[in-house]
Amino acid sequence: MADFLDNAKLNIERLKFFQAFEIQLTRLLGGWLPGVERWETKHEIGLHIFQNAENSRDLRTRLWELRVSNPDKDVEAEVLKTTNALALAQHDFELLTGVYLVVKKQLIEAYQAYVKSTHGVYDYPSIPVLKRCIATNTEQLEWAKRELVLLTDSGEKKRKMQCWLRYTEELVRAIGGIDGQGEKSDLPMPPPAYSLLLPFSEAKRDERFKVQIMGMPMPEKSERLEWLLWQFANYAAEMQAAETLATVLWETEGMPWEFYFDIARHCWDEVRHSKLGETRLAELGYHVSDFPCSVGSYAWRQLFDPLIRYCALTYIIEAGSFKLKHESYQDYLVEGDTESAQAIMFDIVDETMHVRWGSKWVPELMKHYDYGQTLEHLIEACRDIVSSHSVAPAQRKAIEKELARA
């Protein structure tokens, strides 16, 4: 009987460590998203941010079934030691090395060991959850192996990659392994002169892009091709919204787990919107790098704390975008451009959900950051901030119209 209870408790502790790693890797990848240079790499990491959050959700659900009311208790701090240390990476290829070649690899092995050792009948509900986690993480790991071949294209980069791999392995060992059940020791020292680069003040782009601060000027609607290209190039630029949300994921500590899950989904939606723009431009015969790449929206939002960033994005920028999007949707239908209309329709659906999340989480962030004024005061402050700082012509035009009506 004692052995059975000990094994059950051990399994629960392992599941707690697994889910903590999944959600803290979500936050870590979020912190680093703006610092990743290669465009395709950035898009894939955006997907992984939400996939990890989904894995965490499934593991937490199983833990709740096992009567664990607080899955983070006694493990979150241990896992944070590792992910906070991994945040000290100085290059995106180092980050990928630590997260995927070490942590993800060991998670996969631990998941497989759990499935093999647990009781196939009594603990059956855990098995499909872990098999899904195995599949997702294996796919991510294989992607990272391919990606690192591209990113480590010199002997020096390969040397730094191997050094960071060894450091990460030592980190995981120091907290007792990926499931926290081994012998613990002091954390290893990072390589000399390594310091935290996060949060990034600027969003990085690779050498293919013509980077500028300002967004593309709005053409006249009568110039239909120019308008079409402008609209979908602006969708591609929504990577900046994803990067802003990713920084909120990283910088905001101590919020409920549901907050991180919703922000991870919101972040992934904005990555998809960026891909939406890139895809439509490709269908029209263009590459996203054929157009000027604005990074100013990310930069000005980083001047403010996560509360202001998130409120400005949801209550002002996204909420103020619907009029133009609905008009564009109707115009494309009239013109018979069903591809453009469909793309905008799905964006409107997503943005509606994002505005609802804003109304859900902005009041909670106000408490978190001890904002002493009313919600209405915060919204007006954010409207003024967007009006004075925005580098996106459509945003400024929407704000001007709203202020004129007021």
7 and 125 both lie in a single domain: yes
Cα 342 to Cα 326: distance, rounded to the nearest angstrom: 12
Concatenated DSSP letters for 22-84? HHHHHHHHHHHGGG---HHHHHHHHHHHHHHHHHHHHHHHHHHHTT-S-TTTTTHHHHHHHHH
264 and 126 both lie in a single domain: no
pLDDT digits (tens, 9 = 90+) for 83-136: 999 999 999 999 999 999 999 999 999 999 999 999 999 999 999 999 999 999
Concatenated DSSP letters for 185-202? -PPPPPSTT----PSPSS
Task: Provide long-range contacts, Cβ within 8 A and 24+ apart, for 383-389.
Answer: 383/316, 385/304, 385/308, 385/312, 386/312, 386/316, 386/317, 389/300, 389/303
Cα 342 to Cα 323: distance, rounded to the nearest angstrom: 16
217 and 147 both lie in a single domain: no
First to last CA, the chain: 71
What mean pLDDT value characterizes the chain?
95
Domain-embedded: residue 194: no
Report the pLDDT value the prediction gives residue 287, as an integer from 0 to 100: 97
108 and 222 both lie in a single domain: no
Report the pLDDT value the prediction gives residue 373, as an integer from 0 to 100: 98
pLDDT band, residue 7 (cuts 50/70/90): confident
Domain-embedded: residue 103: yes
Q: What pTM, to 2 d.p., does this model score?
A: 0.96
Report the pLDDT value the prediction gives residue 25, as an integer from 0 to 100: 98
Question: Residue 223 region, left (φ>0) first, then alpha (ψ -120 to 50), else beta?
Answer: beta
Report the pLDDT value the prediction gives residue 232, as an integer from 0 to 100: 98
Report the pLDDT value the prediction gives residue 6, as an integer from 0 to 100: 65
Angle value at C-alpha 308, between 254 and 87, nearest 5 degrees? 50
143 and 222 both lie in a single domain: no
pLDDT band, residue 229 (cuts 50/70/90): very high
Report the pLDDT value the prediction gives residue 397, as an integer from 0 to 100: 77
Domain-embedded: residue 187: no
- pLDDT over 80 at 3, yes or no: no
For residue 26, give the nearest of 85, 91, 93, 99 by alpha carbon: 99
Cα 178 to Cα 185: distance, rounded to the nearest angstrom: 14
- pLDDT over 60 at 250, yes or no: yes
Domain-embedded: residue 325: yes
Alpha-carbon dihedral of residues 338, 339, 343, 349, nearest 10 degrees? Answer: 30
- pLDDT over 90 at 226, yes or no: yes
CATH number of the structural domain spanning residue 84: 1.20.1260.10
Neighbours of 131 (CB within 10 A): 13
The separation between CA 314 and the C-alpha centre of its own chain, rounded to angstroms, equals 16
Domain-embedded: residue 88: yes
Cα 144 to Cα 107: distance, rounded to the nearest angstrom: 15
Average pLDDT over residues 34-56: 98
Report the pLDDT value the prediction gives residue 5, as an integer from 0 to 100: 54
- pLDDT over 70 at 366, yes or no: yes
What share of the chain has pLDDT > 90, as a percent?
A: 93
**What SS3 state is found at 294?**
strand
Tokens of 24: 């803290």
Tokens of 124: 């059956």
pLDDT digits (tens, 9 = 90+) for 291-321: 999 999 999 999 999 999 999 999 999 999 9
Domain-embedded: residue 189: no
Neighbours of 302 (CB within 10 A): 19
Cα 265 to Cα 68: distance, rounded to the nearest angstrom: 25
Domain-embedded: residue 167: yes
Question: Residue 272 region, left (φ>0) first, then alpha (ψ -120 to 50), else beta?
Answer: alpha
Residue 375's domain comprises 211-405
Average pLDDT over residues 27-36: 98
Backbone angles phi, psi at 343, to 5 degrees: -60, -45
Contact between 265 and 249 under an 8 Å Cβ cutoff? The reply is no
169 and 217 both lie in a single domain: no
Task: Provide long-range contacts, Cβ within 8 A and 24+ apart, for 120-123.
Answer: 123/11
Cα 164 to Cα 18: distance, rounded to the nearest angstrom: 22
Q: Which residue has the tokens 């899904």?
A: 132
Of the residues 174, 197, 231, the one at which a domain ends: 174
For residue 268, give the nearest of 260, 279, 258 by alpha carbon: 260
Report the pLDDT value the prediction gives residue 405, as an integer from 0 to 100: 67
166 and 219 both lie in a single domain: no
Cα 180 to Cα 143: distance, rounded to the nearest angstrom: 27
